[in-house]
Amino acid sequence: MSFLRRDRIELKTPDQIRKMRDSGLVTAAALAAAREALIPGAVPSAVDAAAESVIRAAGAAPNFLGYNGYPASVCFSVNEVVVHGIPGSQALRPGDVVSVDCGAVLDGWHSDSAITVGAGELDARSELLIAVTKRALWDGIAAFAKADFVGEIGCAIEASVQESEPSFGILRDYVGHGIGSAMHMEPDVVNFASRERGPRVRPGMVLAIEPMVVEGSIATSIDADGWTVRTVDASRAAHWEHTVARTSGGIWVLTEPDGGAAELAARGIEIAPL
């Protein structure tokens, strides 16, 4: 690996990106197990245990568990909780909007991904919130495939949300990040248009791209547990994330089983696995 001196951005070799892909597939499998369990009556702590079991069965470790004291293997955020919710014992109710954020470390290489789904049938507004956020994620990933600077990702995400539903808000206090030999690394990856272009995109750069979108105000507060971030106005939130590599040949979504082929083909982009 090498580093860009200005921002200490870790650039991965092709072999290191392949190892990150292995880690990413473990995270994808853990999220698939979590998704299957997200039904009314499901207990968040049991979903957490199911995801952790998948990670450990693959010979990996959950990189969230113990991170700065975090007490679980996934972040489990329901309704107005945007991110970093701690999975507990309160069962899901029909119509809950649930975000699960999960990560694994395998052979020293990290991956990070998140989904938002409904527990049972959702109202139309919640369905729209989830769809808009997921679309914004993939529009941001598509921008990364061609970007000269990291800031172009945030421009694409904001444009996507504004085009889909201008009344929705994009969180500014919580952003994406570089990832690799550590879970959180340089650079920050904002989800909105900024005058700062950010660092230049180079082959070997791997980013966790993760828009967080809310129905109402972007103002948030943190619970007494020091982790749980929720909207001040109690509006619902959605969160989608993938770990994505920019290679010399293009882009590869490391935490998506098909590498991002289907979603990116719809945007005129071919993936570039190594």
Supply the Cα-derived Rg of the chain in whole angstroms: 17
Dump pLDDT digits (tens) for 8-29.
899 999 999 999 999 999 999 9
Tell whether the model's pLDDT for residue 175 goes beyond 50: yes
Question: Residue 3's pLDDT band (boundaries 50, 70, 90)?
Answer: very low
Q: Which two tokens stand for residue 131?
A: 């769809």
Is 6 contained in some domain? Answer: yes
Dump pLDDT digits (tens) for 227-266.
999 999 999 999 999 999 999 999 999 999 999 999 999 9
Buried b / exposed e over 213-238, threshold 16 CB at 10 Å, is bbbbebebeeeeeebbbbbeeebbbb
User: What is the reported pLDDT for 5?
Assistant: 47
Per DSSP, the three-state class of 63 is: coil
Dump pLDDT digits (tens) for 70-102.
999 999 999 999 999 999 999 999 999 999 999
Handedness of CA 123, 97, 191, 30 (dihedral sign): negative
Is 273 contained in some domain? Answer: no
Question: Residue 1's pLDDT band (boundaries 50, 70, 90)?
Answer: low
Give me the domain span that covers residue 163.
2-265
Is 102 contained in some domain? Answer: yes
The tally of domains found in the chain comes to 1
- pTM assigned to the model: 0.96
Is 274 contained in some domain? Answer: no
Query: Whose structure tokens read 């808009």?
Result: 132
Tell me the CATH number at 163: 3.90.230.10
